[in-house]
Structure 1
Amino acid sequence: MKINWGTGIVLAFIGFISFIMYFIITLNVNDKYNHDLVTEDYYAEELSYQNDIDKLNNAKNLDKNISYERTDKGLLIVFPKNIDFSKISGNVFLYRPSNKQLDFDTTISLSKPYLLIPDKRLVGGRWNIKVDWQYNNELYLYKEIINY
């Protein structure tokens, strides 16, 4: 049987459409490809973004900003040594882009100049850290993307 050019074009279209349909169905059905928005209330957070910019600028004006270090016990978030750590308050939010069930929020309550996030709470891979903290009525924000 001889295939003419019209039949070849139709077969090419059918093959292309089949490939696209397979791709779309795979992305919609397979949980491995299930990625959610960064936050559920995206527009409300967008309105408060200028506050975050101000907090980031306050943090940049510090002599030394927050740092982090991975230890065998977990993730160590170290606050600046030149400030009184007992007056620090705020939240630490860890966001996992690939799985929102792993996201968690921790209140900052320090007895030492660092905060330890236990290793059992963190799964290997990419994490976004957001430390929203306050010291002497001044607001600060630290954001970092890490691979744990």
Structure 2
Amino acid sequence: MNWGNKLILVFVAFAGLMFVLVYKAMNTRYELVSKDYYQDELRYQDKIDGKANAAAISQIGVQTDQEHLILQMPKELYGQPLKGDIWLYCKTDAVKDLRLPLSADAEGRQFISKKQLKADKYLLKLSWRAADKHYYTEQDIELNIQ
């Protein structure tokens, strides 16, 4: 094989490699944390204030039983009407995300059925209002659902 044939083989191999890389790049999923990313960033001061308010009270408790993920609201908020949102954000797959309204019972517990969730690592983002104060907290949780 002479040097001209070797040169053609190198160009063909390079073109094939480039084709494979372009094909893989075109079929890769890119997901943003939020569809309204820029609007969320403009409201970031609310999140900072909510974190400061949440740091002044006891933490959210997260427990599991056979059928539920149980969120326990801080004792300081028992008996107060709570309005807010729960977002179980799956970092690896947006299809596994779950958004729910906060509806804690009289003892400050919220039950979330495990049937709505898949086994994975989640970031619990909890935003709520109580007594005209905004609260916000984030917590990493891992669910092993069987």
- Does TM-score exceed 0.5, indicating one fold? yes
1:25 pairs, out of 23, 46, 51, with: 23
From 95, 101, 104, the equivalent of 1:101 is 95
Q: Do residues 81 (structure 1) and 75 (structure 2) align?
A: yes
Structure 1 match to 2:116:
121
CA contact (8 A) 2:80 2:131 kept: no
1:53 corresponding residue in structure 2:
48
Structure 1 gaps, min length 5: none
Superposed CA offset, 1:15-74 (max 9, x none):
345334313312423xxx423111111111110011101101111111x11121232212
The answer to whether the Cα contact below 8 Å between 1:35 and 1:97 also exists between their aligned partners in 2 is: no
**Contact residue 61 and residue 71 of structure 2 kept, 8 A:** yes
Task: Supply the distance in 1 between the matched residues of 2:140 and 2:7 (Cα, whole angstroms).
Answer: 48
- Counterpart AA for 1:95: Y
Q: For residues 144 and 13 of structure 1, what CA distance do their matches in structure 2 show?
A: 52
- Please give the alpha-carbon distance, in whole angstroms, between the structure 1 residues aligned to 2:97 and 2:22: 28
Which aligned runs of 4 or more in structure 1 are off by greater than 4 angstroms?
A: 6-14
Gaps of 5+ in 2: none
* One-letter code aligned to 1:78: Q
Superposition deviation, residue 110 in structure 1: 2.0
**Distance across 2 between alignment mates of 1:13 and 1:71:** 60
% of aligned pairs identical? Answer: 24
TM-score (norm 1): 0.80
